[in-house]
């Protein structure tokens, strides 16, 4: 799922500086699960902003709401009245939700309250790890189900590089070396031969490198 | 011959080859390169210029190579995948070859987070093995990576790096095999301090028959001080410095008082100098010894001396190792 | 009188009621009042306990408390001391606030109702009907109302002023009680009808002792238990000999025996024996009653049947007994078998029979049209309590045979509803009383994780102070005891409920619950109320705010925080400190909150929470938003927690988070502190308050 985290309060404060009535709009899906933008986080941020802006001598009003999925018009429609009422919307959705709001309510600016970080897995309560780069050309079948594109700092296809040490990546002893993981997994699976072939350069055009992604399913269109 | 490389000639003539590193400056002053080139001339058969080592901005490798070439050296241009996509890499390969550079060392490159621009966006379009293959195809097939053909190919002697001390140890010889399969002509390894471990590595490499397909140059480096020895032993990942060498560096300055205990600035300076000289002498000695040891290891075709920011030491090392004068072929 | 309103959108399982409430014939919201005591809100506790119970004071002393038998805490160690806690709440109640809820605003009704018998059944029916607006008259044969409470129950268990308190409350509800009117002797049922009573409720109880058909019953020195107690209770002289033999093994027999012990004057030598058919283990009296009886010197002779009473010169000299090998037959019917040739004699000069009570139905005439059962009780429809005569209802011991106060009251209540239905001209046969859905037993995995907590013993009058007087034996809980006792309640079914429409299935609740209750079912969290221990961790952590605590919700805590600031002076020379204190540990010791709180300076205001795991990040922020200069949380952080370490530790993460927010906001993290107070250090709250005050004074006021 999409993993995000809240922007620093100061940055949010400066974004909303020119507005009096702010609708803080959460999203009930990914960002709820990663404790960045669900109903609870909306409440916490509203409380923090009420205090912070009052300390700055401003008299702002904060409206709180959360929709089920901010990347869909139908769900956002439920808060159309609140959007109208507010001077600006501070979205606690991922970048997709923020853009949906801007598109759907063009007369109102929607600001991002979160930094959308990556596609990841909640590996334990309070910990999220990047797992996929949406490269558009999945290689997991060649790498024992561990993604070298997202999890190797250099996205190597013929890793591990010389920086792999004790199973960790050269960039940080906290980061697992993806290729060590791949090696171990393939070894366990008896498929080390997959590590012997020289893998050709990746076709990055399937990813964002090929321009903004788009999928159209004619069969599904109405 | 695949190229006009002096290194290739030395190696194919069966000589024990020596290469050395020439660090480019963090500015646009060509004199730095020239001075180092003059100092190094005659000490080795070819000279590597690093490409943004540890992701710190320095003079472009190809440019410093050109300067040393003007001084009559045989340069090895280092090229990493960190900063260039396959388009830029191929353009630089063509350019370097056109400038008369005969050797290339293909690398993945240290990650941006080490350097002085950690905010930069890494490229890593292809990896080092793919780079080796790409250059080889350009040279031998006259083909760009996309398959398009070219008229005049870059005639480069293709090198790659290997770190025998990185993990997983068991896989390292196979990764080397991949580089060979991709088309590497020579290999320069990470600095060897732990000779027994390197010997074990080389044994596995020879078992795979790789030494017959590629020239392997063992990386060596002089230690500057006991502090440096300790630092490399404990702090630098992938660097395996046996305790023995740390102890020897400490013993080297035995009998010289600590500068901290001396008040008179003149005397202090003097003591500092004596310590430095004692350390350097020992560091060079160890390095020469290691060269002699690795020379005995089957499959080792030469050494690559990385006297980082201490190019002055190279002459003494090569001389102590009995590798002077360098052959002319 | 189901207090479980069904909130839409919330899991239907919510209708499951705790077994204590189901077991209580009046369906008292036990969980509710015990929880209120646990939180120190004693008046709320009284109000909850009083709502269904006009004889709350009486019940708080003598209720047979079937609730405790069902209490799920009993699966872990021992049941919650539900009855003792009710007594505590009643004793703490300020009667100047009134006895019970004010009379509802109803249309006064015309139709008069007569009630025969001012025992628990009659009084409850009268109270309920009066509150519905009916003019109600209770006819009582005895000089004072109360029924068996007055003339049966011994005073050492039920002081008479206790009864008077409840009677007063009932009278205040506009119930008219006519004493010294015996129906059958002074008036007949038809007289009542003629006087315009449109409905009659017969609640005459079972006031007669059953006799034995054995030789020697006519001897001098043979007494009937109920008569004996009535005489004692009404202060009439009772002549007992030196060796008193009480026949019977039930609660009434114990009351008789223990009263016999008390009769006489200091120095008079007396021995009291109890002889019963049942074995010691089978004795129907409550175990604690039997133990007290033994402590008071009563000698038990179980498994013996009375064969004949031996006499000399017309006076009792002993009882011949025979060994009883079993009381009930294989089908569970009363059918004692005796061991042949096992006769023996117990010497004694007084014999009191306490083998059961029956109703005196002699006042009924054939023309009344009231049929009886084979057990010589009045025959009624079990749902509506209607007798075979139209407009005449009956309930209490007159229909059930010997029972309990609360059981009789429940029938009084039922009768009131039926009579109202009848008088409104509605079809009685349509009247249905709902079934209660009960929470299942705790599953073994949950029992395993609940920390055992010893039941608080009831303080008792020392043995030597009981002799020859009727001072009450059970003394009631002190405040500290009541707190400890109340904290044992598992708040069954009062815990977490998921709004599945909001749940994002994030698994947080699944992971944080110290009892492993939540699961994801059909795409949303499901919290089985059978298992939930109402610790509140999940609700305070749920990022979708999909979880509500049924009892003591997050919103209630917000309201309490707001209330703290309601009267805060605008200009305060001292910093305003808000403390969130865990009731389980921050105060958990002899003196508890009251005295601890009394030591707090006025600038420090505390909020008592049931476990710090209930506190949520926004609660802490709220206190600052409202202007607190400093906030502290006091509770145990580690394994002391009433729940588990896992629950207790969560507060650390929350406090850390709020500190970061405070720094970002510009209020400063040093204004929030977490104090780890294991229960042994309960007294430290005032010290913490002082320390906080000084520290915050130095920091200056909340910049807000
Ligand atoms: C010794 C003893 C101890 C007990 N201890 C407990 C205990 O600890 N806890 C508990 O829960 N239960 C206890 N009980 C049982 C409890 O007292 C009864 O279940 C309860 O009182 C029954 O209530 P009732 O209203 O049905 O009848 P009663 O309480 O018997 O009331 C009936 C009333 O009707 C009156 N009456 C009878 N005939 C007429 C008439 N013809 N005209 C006018 N008035 C009439 C009687 O004088 C009496 O006041 C005890 C009973 C006894 C005998
Ligand atoms: S633990 Fe509390 S709620 Fe549960 S049955 Fe016992 S008294 Fe009732
Ligand atoms: S914590 Fe809340 S949102 Fe998450 S699974 Fe539980 S109920 Fe659903
Ligand atoms: S966390 Fe506590 S309140 Fe929530 S389900 Fe578990 S026991 Fe119940």
Record the tokens describing residue B310, joined without a space: 């201490």
| d(C-alpha C487, C-alpha C495), whole Å | 15
Say which DSSP state C101 is in: S
Q: What percent of chain C has pLDDT over 90?
A: 77
CATH number at residue B310: 3.20.20.220
B38-59 pLDDT, tens digit per residue, is 999 999 999 999 999 999 999 9
Record the tokens describing residue C119, joined without a space: 């025992």
The set of long-range contacts for C263-268, using a CB threshold of 8 Å and a minimum separation of 24, is C263/C232, C263/C238, C263/C468, C264/C240, C264/C468, C265/C468, C266/C467, C266/C468
Q: Is the dihedral of CA C49, C55, C57, C62 positive or negative?
A: negative
Pair B28, B300: CB distance under 8 Å = no
Neighbour count for residue C333 (Cβ, 10 Å): 8
Cα–Cα nearest to A133, from A145, A149, A148? A149
Tally the C-alpha atoms within 13 A of residue C130's C-alpha that lie toward its C-beta: 23
Crossing angle for the helix pair B172-182 and B195-207, nearest 10 degrees? 50
Q: What is the mean pLDDT of residues B292-315?
A: 96
Distance B250 CA to ligand 1 centre (A): 102
At residue C519's C-alpha, the angle toward residues C516 and C522, to 5°, is 175
Chain C interface includes A10 (CB < 8 A): yes
Sheet of strand C243-247: strand arrangement: C222-224, C350-353, C243-247, C271-275, C299-301
Q: A2-118: what fold?
A: Rossmann fold (3.40.50)
pLDDT on residue B234? 84
Query: Does residue A153 carry a pLDDT above 90?
Result: yes
What residues of chain B lie within 8 A of the CB of A198, using their CB? 129-130, 133, 178, 181-182
Record the tokens describing residue C333, joined without a space: 């019917």
In chain A, which residue's Cα lies nearest the Cα of C501? A68
Say which DSSP state B141 is in: I
Cα–Cα nearest to C72, from C25, C18, C36? C18
**Ligand 3 neighbour C450 (Cβ under 6 A):** no
pLDDT on residue C12? 38
CB proximity list for C105: less than 8 A, separation 6 or greater: none
3-state DSSP assignment of residue A101: helix
Ligand 3 atom at shortest distance from the alpha carbon of C505 = 5
What residues of chain A lie within 8 A of the CB of B130, using their CB? 157-158, 198-201
User: Is the CB of C704 less than 8 angstroms away from the CB of A51?
Assistant: yes
What residues of chain B lie within 8 A of the CB of A174, using their CB? none
Using an 8 Å CB-CB cutoff, list residues of chain B that contact chain A.
81-82, 86, 108-111, 113-114, 122, 124-130, 133-134, 145, 161-163, 166-168, 171, 174-175, 177-178, 181-182, 190, 237-238
3-state DSSP assignment of residue C130: helix
Q: Where are the domains of chain A?
A: 2-118, 133-197
What residues of chain B lie within 8 A of the CB of A166, using their CB? 167
Record the tokens describing residue B44, joined without a space: 């080795």
Element (H, E) at C557: helix C554-566
Q: Does the N-terminal peptide bond of residue C452 adopt cis geometry, omega within 30 degrees of 0?
A: no
Q: Which domain holds residue B297?
A: 6-223+287-320
What residues of chain A lie within 8 A of the CB of B133, using their CB? 198, 200
Select, from the ranges B128-142, B249-263, C11-25, C664-678, the one with the highest average predicted confidence (pLDDT).
B128-142
User: Which of C501, C520, C543 has the highest number of chain A CBs within 10 A, making it the mutation to test binding with A?
Assistant: C543
Cα–Cα nearest to C483, from C602, C597, C315, C389? C597
C225-271 pLDDT, tens digit per residue, is 999 999 999 989 888 999 999 999 999 999 999 999 999 777 777 89
| d(C-alpha B167, C-alpha C158), whole Å | 84
Tally the C-alpha atoms within 13 A of residue C514's C-alpha that lie toward its C-beta: 23
| d(C-alpha B60, C-alpha B77), whole Å | 9
Within a domain: B77: yes
Q: What is the mean pLDDT of residues B218-238?
A: 89
**Ligand 4 neighbour C450 (Cβ under 6 A):** no
| d(C-alpha C614, C-alpha C636), whole Å | 13
ipTM for the assembly: 0.92
Within a domain: B216: yes
Record the tokens describing residue B271, joined without a space: 């003591």
| d(C-alpha C1, C-alpha C271), whole Å | 48
Q: What is the mean pLDDT of residues A14-25?
A: 97
Within a domain: B241: no
At residue A202's C-alpha, the angle toward residues A200 and A207, to 5°, is 170
**Ligand 1 neighbour C252 (Cβ under 6 A):** yes
**Ligand 3 neighbour C519 (Cβ under 6 A):** no
Chain A interface includes C508 (CB < 8 A): yes
Q: Which of left, alpha, beta for C386 (phi over 0: left; psi -120 to 50: alpha)?
A: beta
| d(C-alpha C48, C-alpha C46), whole Å | 5
| d(C-alpha C625, C-alpha C703), whole Å | 10
Domain count, chain B: 1
Quick one: A155 exposed, middle or buried, by C-beta within 10 A (0-12, 13-18, 19+)?
buried
User: Is the CB of A154 less than 8 angstroms away from the CB of B81?
Assistant: yes
**Cα diameter, chain A:** 67
B272-299 pLDDT, tens digit per residue, is 999 999 999 999 999 999 999 999 999 9
Distance C134 CA to ligand 1 centre (A): 24
User: Is the CB of C502 less than 8 angstroms away from the CB of A39?
Assistant: yes
pLDDT band, very low/low/confident/very high, at B7 (cuts 50, 70, 90): very high
**Ligand 3 neighbour C350 (Cβ under 6 A):** no
Quick one: A102 exposed, middle or buried, by C-beta within 10 A (0-12, 13-18, 19+)?
middle
Q: Is the dihedral of CA B2, B7, B10, B14 positive or negative?
A: negative
What residues of chain A lie within 8 A of the CB of C555, using their CB? none
Say which DSSP state C671 is in: G
Q: Give the residue whose CA is nearest to atom 41 of ligand 1.
A: C183
Domains and CATH numbers, chain C: 2-207+359-433 (3.50.50.60), 209-358 (3.50.50.60), 494-551 (3.30.70.20), 553-699 (3.40.50)
| d(C-alpha C226, C-alpha B172), whole Å | 99
Within a domain: B248: no
**Ligand 3 neighbour C547 (Cβ under 6 A):** yes
| d(C-alpha A216, C-alpha C83), whole Å | 70
Which A-chain residues 115-174 have CB contacts (< 8 A) with chain B? 153-167, 170-172
| d(C-alpha C590, C-alpha B114), whole Å | 61
In chain C, which residue's Cα lies nearest the Cα of A32? C543
User: Is the CB of C617 less than 8 angstroms away from the CB of A51?
Assistant: no
Neighbour count for residue C699 (Cβ, 10 Å): 15
Q: Spell out, as residue ranges, where chain C has pLDDT lower than 50.
A: 1-14
Q: Is the dihedral of CA C42, C48, C51, C56 positive or negative?
A: negative
């Amino acid at each position: 799922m999409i993993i995000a985290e809240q922007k620093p309060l100061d940055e949010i404060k400066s974004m909303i500086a020119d507005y009096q009535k702010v609708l803080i709009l959460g999203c009930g899906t990914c960002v709820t699960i990663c404790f960045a933008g669900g109903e609870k986080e909306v409440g916490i941020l509203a409380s923090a902003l009420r205090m912070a802006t009052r300390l700055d001598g401003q008299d702002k009003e904060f409206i709180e709401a959360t929709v089920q999925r901010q990347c869909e018009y139908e769900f956002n429609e439920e808060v159309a009245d609140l959007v109208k009422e507010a001077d600006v919307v501070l979205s606690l959705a991922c970048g997709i939700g923020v853009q949906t709001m801007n598109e759907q309510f063009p007369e109102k600016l929607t600001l991002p309250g979160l930094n959308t970080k990556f596609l990841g897995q909640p590996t334990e309560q309070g910990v999220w790890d990047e797992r996929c780069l949406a490269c558009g050309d999945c290689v997991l079948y060649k790498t024992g189900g561990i993604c070298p594109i997202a999890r190797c700092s250099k996205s190597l296809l013929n890793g591990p590089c010389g920086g792999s040490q004790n199973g960790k990546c050269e960039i940080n002893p906290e980061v697992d070396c993806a290729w060590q993981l791949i090696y171990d997994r393939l070894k366990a699976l008896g498929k080390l031969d997959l590590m012997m072939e020289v893998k050709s350069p990746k076709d990055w055009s399937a990813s964002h490198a090929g321009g903004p992604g788009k999928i159209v399913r004619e069969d599904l269109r109405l | 011959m695949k190229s006009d490389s002096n290194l290739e000639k030395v190696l194919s003539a069966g000589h024990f080859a020596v290469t050395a590193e020439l660090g480019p400056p963090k500015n646009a002053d060509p004199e730095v390169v020239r001075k180092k080139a003059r100092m190094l001339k005659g000490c080795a058969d070819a000279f590597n210029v690093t490409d943004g080592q540890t992701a710190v901005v320095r003079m472009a490798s190809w440019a410093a190579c050109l300067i040393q070439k003007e001084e009559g050296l045989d340069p090895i241009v280092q090229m990493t995948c960190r900063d260039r996509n396959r388009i830029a890499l191929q353009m630089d390969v063509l350019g370097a070859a056109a400038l008369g550079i005969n050797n290339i060392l293909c690398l993945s490159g240290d990650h941006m987070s080490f350097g002085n621009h950690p905010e930069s966006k890494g490229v890593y379009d292809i990896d080092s093995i793919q780079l080796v293959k790409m250059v080889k195809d350009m040279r031998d097939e006259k083909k760009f990576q996309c398959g398009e053909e070219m008229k005049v190919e870059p005639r480069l002697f293709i090198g790659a790096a290997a770190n025998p001390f990185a993990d997983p140890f068991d896989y390292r010889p196979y990764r080397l095999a991949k580089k060979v399969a991709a088309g590497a002509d020579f290999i320069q390894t990470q600095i060897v301090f732990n000779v027994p471990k390197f010997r074990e590595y080389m044994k596995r490499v020879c078992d795979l028959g790789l030494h017959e397909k590629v020239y392997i140059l063992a990386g060596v480096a002089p230690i500057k001080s006991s502090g440096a020895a300790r630092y490399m032993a404990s702090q630098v990942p992938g660097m395996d410095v046996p305790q023995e060498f740390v102890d020897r560096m400490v013993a080297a300055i035995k009998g010289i008082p600590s500068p901290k205990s001396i008040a008179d600035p003149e005397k202090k300076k003097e003591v500092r100098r004596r310590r430095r000289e004692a350390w350097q002498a020992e560091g060079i000695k160890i390095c020469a010894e290691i060269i002699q040891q690795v020379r005995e290891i089957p499959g080792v075709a030469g050494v690559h001396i990385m006297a980082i920011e201490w190019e002055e030491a190279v002459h003494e090392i090569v001389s102590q190792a009995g590798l002077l004068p360098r052959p002319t072929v | 009188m189901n207090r479980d309103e069904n909130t839409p959108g919330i899991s239907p399982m919510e209708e499951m009621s705790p077994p204590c409430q189901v077991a209580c014939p009046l369906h008292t919201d036990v969980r509710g009042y015990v929880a209120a005591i646990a939180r120190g809100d004693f008046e709320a506790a009284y109000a909850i306990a009083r709502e269904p119970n006009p004889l709350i004071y009486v019940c708080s002393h003598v209720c047979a408390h079937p609730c405790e038998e069902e209490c799920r805490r009993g699966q872990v160690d021992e049941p919650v001391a539900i009855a003792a806690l009710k007594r505590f709440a009643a004793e703490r109640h300020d009667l100047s606030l009134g006895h019970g809820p004010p009379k509802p605003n109803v249309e006064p009704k015309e139709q008069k109702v007569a009630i025969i018998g001012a025992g628990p059944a009659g009084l409850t029916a009268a109270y309920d009907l009066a509150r519905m607006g009916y003019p109600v008259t209770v006819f009582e044969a005895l000089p004072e109302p109360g029924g068996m409470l007055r003339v049966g129950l011994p005073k050492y268990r039920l002081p008479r002023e206790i009864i008077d308190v409840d009677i007063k409350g009932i009278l205040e509800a506009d119930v008219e009680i006519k004493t010294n009117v015996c129906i059958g002797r002074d008036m007949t049922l038809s007289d009542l009808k003629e006087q315009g009573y449109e409905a009659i409720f017969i609640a005459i109880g079972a006031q007669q002792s059953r006799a034995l058909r054995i030789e020697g019953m006519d001897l001098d020195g043979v007494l009937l238990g109920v008569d004996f107690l009535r005489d004692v209770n009404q202060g009439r002289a009772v002549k007992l000999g030196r060796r008193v033999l009480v026949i019977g093994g039930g609660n009434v027999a114990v009351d008789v025996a223990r009263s016999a012990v008390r009769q006489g004057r200091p120095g008079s030598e007396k021995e009291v024996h109890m002889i019963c058919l049942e074995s010691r283990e089978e004795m129907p009296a409550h175990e604690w009653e039997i133990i007290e009886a033994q402590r008071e010197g009563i000698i038990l002779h179980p498994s013996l049947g009375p064969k004949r009473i031996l006499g000399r010169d017309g006076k009792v000299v002993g009882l011949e007994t025979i060994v009883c090998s079993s009381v009930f037959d294989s089908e569970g019917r009363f059918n004692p078998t005796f061991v042949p040739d096992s006769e023996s004699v117990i010497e004694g000069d007084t014999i009191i029979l306490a083998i059961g009570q029956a109703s005196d139905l002699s006042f009924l005439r054939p023309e009344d049209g009231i049929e009886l059962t084979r057990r010589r009780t009045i025959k009624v429809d079990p749902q509506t309590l209607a007798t075979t005569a139209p407009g005449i209802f009956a309930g209490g011991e007159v229909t059930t045979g010997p029972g309990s106060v609360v059981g009789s009251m429940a029938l009084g209540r039922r009768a009131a509803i039926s009579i109202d239905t009848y008088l409104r001209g509605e079809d009685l046969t349509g009247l249905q009383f709902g079934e209660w859905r009960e929470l299942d037993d705790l599953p073994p995995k949950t029992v395993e994780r609940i920390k055992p907590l010893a039941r608080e013993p009831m303080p008792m009058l020392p043995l030597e102070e009981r002799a020859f007087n009727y001072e009450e034996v059970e003394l009631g809980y002190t405040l500290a005891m009541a707190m400890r006792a109340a904290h044992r309640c598992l708040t069954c079914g009062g815990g977490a409920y998921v709004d599945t429409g909001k749940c994002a299935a994030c698994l947080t609740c699944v992971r944080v619950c110290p009892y492993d209750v939540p699961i994801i079912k059909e795409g949303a969290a499901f919290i089985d109320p059978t298992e939930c221990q109402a610790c509140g961790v999940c609700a305070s952590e749920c990022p979708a705010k999909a979880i509500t605590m049924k009892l003591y919700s997050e919103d209630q805590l917000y309201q309490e925080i707001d209330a703290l600031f309601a009267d805060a002076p605008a200009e305060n020379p001292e910093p305003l400190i808000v403390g969130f204190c865990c009731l389980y540990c921050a105060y958990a010791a002899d003196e508890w909150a009251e005295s601890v709180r009394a030591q707090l300076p006025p600038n420090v205001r505390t909020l008592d929470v049931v476990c710090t795991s209930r506190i949520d990040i926004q609660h802490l922020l709220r206190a600052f938003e409202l202007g607190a200069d400093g906030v502290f949380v006091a509770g145990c952080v580690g394994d002391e927690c009433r729940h588990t370490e896992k629950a207790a530790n969560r507060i650390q993460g929350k406090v850390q988070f709020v500190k970061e927010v405070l720094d970002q906001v510009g209020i400063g993290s040093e204004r929030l502190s977490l104090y780890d107070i294991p229960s042994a250090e309960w007294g430290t709250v005032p010290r913490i308050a002082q320390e906080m005050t000084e520290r915050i004074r130095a920091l200056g006021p909340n910049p807000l």
